[in-house]
Amino acid sequence: MASIQCSRPATHALGDLVVAWGNLEQWVTGGIVQLISGGDATLEQIAFAVCAEMSFDRKVHALYSIYKVRFPTEAENPELRAIVNGLFAMQERRNQMLHSAWILSEDGRIAARLKSSAKAKRFRGLPNPRRFCRNARG
């Protein structure tokens, strides 16, 4: 596979995250659909319709709840719990990455991550762009 030179590696990495996240969400949806439908085409359509209205964390909760109903003796499997907990941890990290603003250096690397929050003690404002980019004016 040829190496691709990217002028903005941080932006490229965030794009990779978006693509991978969409794939992961489809796998979770597929798991729900399989558990509900068992191959029945009508139930499959219903499951897809319900999943389309759900956030990722609701899908993970539903996947685990439906799994417990279908396979009650396996529901407390530590490996399954680790997968579910891992999905929630990934969602938290994904939200940190995608719901932030980014200041990039001239070489396209991350110079700063900005995140405001209602929980913050005080707002610090934007950093001086001269600190991050040689040619910035301000």
pLDDT in tens, 20-36: 999 999 999 999 999 99
Residue range of the domain that includes 87: 9-112+124-131
> pTM for the complete prediction?
0.72
Please say if the pLDDT value at position 48 is more than 90.
Answer: yes
Number of compact structural domains in the chain: 1
Under the banding of pLDDT at 50, 70 and 90, the label for residue 133 is very low
Higher pLDDT, 38 or 99: 38
Residue 78 lies in a domain: yes
Residue 137 lies in a domain: no
pLDDT tens digits for range 77-123 = 999 999 999 999 999 989 888 888 878 787 777 777 777 766 655 55
Residue 87 lies in a domain: yes
Residue 3 lies in a domain: no
DSSP line for the chain: -PPPP-S-HHHHHHHHHHHHHHHHHHHHHHHHHHHHHTT-HHHHHHHHHHHHT--HHHHHHHHHHHHHHH-GGGTT-HHHHHHHHHHHHHHHHHHHHHTSEEEE-TTS-EEEEE---TT-SS---PPPGGGT-TT---
Residue 138 lies in a domain: no
